[in-house]
Amino acid sequence: MSEGNVIRVLARIYVDDLAGSLPLYEQLTGQSSPHTFTFGATRLARVGDFLRIEGADARVRSHAATIAVRDVAEVVAAVTKAGGQLLEGPAEGPNGPR
């Protein structure tokens, strides 16, 4: 069986205090070194399969999950072939194409 394109699905959790929210998720996931980064006006931290987000506006908060994939172009081709429409992207992000 071939390896799929989806690497991970991250549950988005919107917070007012990113730093204050991390200790609980570090404890729950057993990961003490979250990957933190900034994208636009938002500050983010990935802890296990949780993406903690501070400073998100209503448009960003309308999203429930982030899906990490091996190949963004493959996703674009699959969506287009299925008759779908991309509403945004692909575009460069702080951790590579999104």
Distances (CA, A) of 67 to 5, 20, 23, 32, 81: 10, 25, 24, 22, 19
**pTM, entire model:** 0.79
Per the document, the length of the chain is 98
Domain locations in the chain as residue ranges: 6-87
Would you state the structure tokens that stand for residue 31, as one six-digit string? 């990961």
Read off the DSSP letter of residue 94. Answer: B
Would you state the structure tokens that stand for residue 62, as one six-digit string? 């309308």
Third-level CATH fold of 6-87: 2,3-Dihydroxybiphenyl 1,2-Dioxygenase; domain 1 (3.10.180)
24-33, 51-60, 71-80, 88-97: which has the minimum mean pLDDT?
A: 88-97
Confidence of residue 1 (pLDDT cuts 50, 70, 90): low
